[in-house]
Amino acid sequence: MHPLVHLSLIWTAVFVAIIAAKKTRLTPVLFFLFMGFTLVNLGILPRESDLFIREFAELGIIFIMFALGFEESTDHFVASIKKNWGIAFFGALGPFLVTYLIADRIWEDPDTSLMCALAMTATAVSLTMVSLRSEGLQNSAVATRIMTSAVIDDIGSLIAVAIVVPLAVGGESLTMYSVATTAAKAILFFVLVTVVGGWIFPHRLRGWISRVPFIGKYGVIHILTFDEGRQATLAVLLVALVFGLAATYFGFHPAVGAYMAGLIVKEEYFRTGDDGRFVQDTPSTNVVYEETKRIVDNAAFSWVGPVFFVDLGAKLIFDLDIFIDAVPIALLLFGALFVVQISSAALAARYTGDMSWHQSLMIGFGMLGRAELAFVVMDIAYVQNSIIPTNAFFTLMIAAFFLNIAVPLSINWWRPHYDRAEASRVAS
């Protein structure tokens, strides 16, 4: 099949999936995966993707992860850590442990167990926010707590993936030396990101860096505002690619670098003066920032990123024996995660986040979803590095599907109880 024909079929599938997502109020990611699975098993898409599609899908991962990081306000995120560390930590620890124990019992391989656990740790922010928005709760206190906790979980999962994958791919045993070496590389990379984000990117440079030739005089703000901001999208995507390449140099997946790049690019870098105006009296900051964000989101979630998910779904070649084998384990994993995720997040929200019980349970329901990052981890583990076996891949995909279905259903079911408790709390 010609690569462009392949791409046109994928984009058609993406369009159909988005329509289905709008009708059902579920995340499009589920339908992207389903369309890939359906088309490859009907023989419409080839079982082996062309190099062009594989590289295009890889670019999609980078765009998706950068867009997710770009959506998060770094200052708001840092300020929220103190309130939400417990929800993030315990809300991730419970699912990680229960998934690891089940995977270890079934497949008896530490690398498989670790990657399965990491895939099932990261909460799907987009799915939860869509579900909360449909209930009119997108600006509530629970939405803020869920979003911040999910971002903390995602960063933690990415750091763990950065450490575990090189060890698993290299075939090294988990000795103190191998773990320490890989952890040191991870720390060095994140220190580099911190230095760039804290001392090189900001417009007002201080200390020794301000005296460095060229760098001391010009920063990323000048690149973003060049040509009245018309090249800002090109600039931020270039930053994402550079950080992704830097991550690969340290032995990590480019998605790790792209996500960190998104976190350190701030809205304030889209202006040049204290009055928020561009050179030559051009449009305001928000116009260029919002336009750049719109284009990045469009590329990540509408036409580049979805290729990754459809192509990933196309890796699910239906095999009755594997399917029969995977479904019982997936249902067991789903049931265990459903109970542990809700209880661990709700208890943490109640006792470390000072939330009421009705709010805590809503947070627990909101953290059930598994979407973008979970499937990126599955792709790294199964498609790119063959760390996990096929039946484990099927199991994780099915369990994630049921968890995602549970988010809007559980939030909708709990909403009347939540409203009554909120009204009572406000009245008192």
Q: Give the model confidence (pLDDT) of 148-194 as tens digits.
A: 787 777 777 777 777 777 777 765 555 666 667 777 777 788 788 87
On whether the CB atoms of residues 379 and 308 are closer than 8 A, the answer is: yes
On whether the CB atoms of residues 364 and 92 are closer than 8 A, the answer is: no
* pLDDT value for 271: 65
* pLDDT value for 280: 41
Give the residue-averaged pLDDT of 235-243: 90
CA atoms of 353 and 360, how far apart (whole Å): 9
Check which CATH number belongs to the domain holding 192 and give it: 1.20.1530.20
pLDDT digits (tens, 9 = 90+) for 192-203: 887 777 766 765
Range of the domain at 314: 3-427
Give the residue-averaged pLDDT of 389-393: 93
Asked if pLDDT for residue 40 goes beyond 70, the answer is yes
Which of 59-68, 125-134, 415-424 bottoms out in mean pLDDT, i.e. has the lowest? 125-134
On whether the CB atoms of residues 269 and 221 are closer than 8 A, the answer is: yes
CA atoms of 194 and 197, how far apart (whole Å): 5
Q: How many domains does the chain have?
A: 1
pLDDT digits (tens, 9 = 90+) for 335-380: 999 999 999 999 999 998 888 999 999 999 988 988 777 888 888 8
Determine what percent of the chain is predicted with pLDDT higher than 70.
84
pLDDT digits (tens, 9 = 90+) for 10-32: 999 999 999 998 888 777 888 89
In this prediction, residue 332 has a pLDDT band, given cuts at 50, 70 and 90, of very high
Determine what percent of the chain is predicted with pLDDT higher than 90.
28
On whether the CB atoms of residues 50 and 6 are closer than 8 A, the answer is: yes
* pLDDT value for 183: 72
Q: Residues 6 or more apart from 300 whose CB is under 8 A from it?
A: 60, 63, 64, 66, 67, 68
Taking 3-state DSSP, the helix, strand and coil percentages for the chain, each rounded to the nearest 5, stand at 80, 0, 20
Asked if pLDDT for residue 101 goes beyond 80, the answer is yes
Q: Which residue has the higher pLDDT, 318 or 5?
A: 5
Q: Is 99 helix (H, G, I), strand (E, B) or coil?
A: helix
CA atoms of 142 and 132, how far apart (whole Å): 9
CA atoms of 428 and 27, how far apart (whole Å): 37
Asked if pLDDT for residue 143 goes beyond 90, the answer is no
Q: Which residue has the higher pLDDT, 217 or 59?
A: 59
Report which DSSP code applies to 252.
S
On whether the CB atoms of residues 239 and 220 are closer than 8 A, the answer is: yes
Count of all residues that appear for the chain in the document: 428
* pLDDT value for 221: 73
Asked if pLDDT for residue 127 goes beyond 60, the answer is yes
Q: Which residue has the higher pLDDT, 278 or 88?
A: 88
In this prediction, residue 281 has a pLDDT band, given cuts at 50, 70 and 90, of very low
CA atoms of 410 and 404, how far apart (whole Å): 10
Which of 16-25, 30-39, 228-237, 271-280 bottoms out in mean pLDDT, i.e. has the lowest? 271-280
* pLDDT value for 157: 77
* pLDDT value for 282: 47
Q: Residues 6 or more apart from 228 whose CB is under 8 A from it?
A: 278, 279, 280, 282, 283, 288
* pLDDT value for 170: 63
